[in-house]
Amino acid sequence: MRHHITVIGGGVAGLTAAVTAAESGAKVTLYEAHHTLGGRARTAEGPYKTNEGPHALYNGGPLWAWLKQRDLLGPVMAVPPLEGARFRFHRGGALRRTPPLAMVRLGLRSTEKAPVDTDFLTWATAEVGEAGARAAANHIAVALFHHDPGSLSARFVQERLRRVVTLPPEAHYPRGGWASVVDRMASRAWNLGVRIEMTHRVTTLPDNGGPVIVATSLQAARRLLGDPTLAWDSGRTVLLDLAVRARKGDPFVISDLQAPGWIERFTAQDPTLAPAGEQLVQSQFPIAPEEAKADGITRAERLLDLGFPGWRERVTWRREVLAAGRTGALDRPGTTWRDRPAVNRGDGVFLAGDQVAAPGLLAEVAFNSGLEAAALALRTKRITGREGLDLNRA
Ligand X SMILES: Cc1cc2nc3c(=O)[nH]c(=O)nc-3n(C[C@H](O)[C@H](O)[C@H](O)COP(=O)(O)OP(=O)(O)OC[C@H]3O[C@@H](n4cnc5c(N)ncnc54)[C@H](O)[C@@H]3O)c2cc1C
State the residues that interact with ligand X by CB under 6 A: 8-14, 31-34, 39-41, 52-56, 201-202, 215-217, 220, 224, 239, 323, 326-328, 353-354, 362-363, 366
d(CA 145, CA 95): 21
**Nearest approach, Cβ of residue 143 and ligand X (Å):** 7
CA atoms within 13 A on the CB side of 133: 18
Q: What is the length of the chain?
A: 394
**Nearest approach, Cβ of residue 202 and ligand X (Å):** 4
Closest CB to ligand X among 54 and 100?
A: 54
Angle at 291 between CA 286 and CA 292, to 5 degrees: 90
Closest CB to ligand X among 116 and 324?
A: 324
Closest CB to ligand X among 153 and 217?
A: 217
d(CA 367, CA 354): 8
**Nearest approach, Cβ of residue 282 and ligand X (Å):** 9
Closest CB to ligand X among 201 and 381?
A: 201
Residue 161: count of CB within 10 angstroms of its CB? 25
Phi, psi for residue 44 in degrees, rounded to 5: -60, 145
Residue 325: count of CB within 10 angstroms of its CB? 16
CB burial of residue 123 (10 Å; 0-12, 13-18, 19+) = buried
**Nearest approach, Cβ of residue 43 and ligand X (Å):** 11
User: Looking at residue 276, what DSSP letter applies?
Assistant: T
Closest CB to ligand X among 191 and 199?
A: 199
**Nearest approach, Cβ of residue 262 and ligand X (Å):** 10
Strands (DSSP E) found in the chain:
4-8, 27-31, 57-58, 76-77, 87-91, 94-96, 171-174, 195-197, 212-214, 234-245, 253-256, 262-265, 278-286, 315-329, 344-346, 349-351, 380-382, 392-393
Q: Is 20 helix (H, G, I), strand (E, B) or coil?
A: helix
Closest CB to ligand X among 123 and 285?
A: 285
**Nearest approach, Cβ of residue 244 and ligand X (Å):** 20
**Nearest approach, Cβ of residue 106 and ligand X (Å):** 21
| Cβ-proximal residues to 125 (8 Å cutoff; 6+ apart), any chain | 133
User: Looking at residue 269, what DSSP letter applies?
Assistant: T
**Nearest approach, Cβ of residue 28 and ligand X (Å):** 14
- Which residue type occupies 207? D
The closest alpha carbon to 327, from 83, 152, 106, 122, belongs to 152
Closest CB to ligand X among 216 and 335?
A: 216
Closest CB to ligand X among 32 and 127?
A: 32
**Nearest approach, Cβ of residue 84 and ligand X (Å):** 17
Closest CB to ligand X among 277 and 289?
A: 289
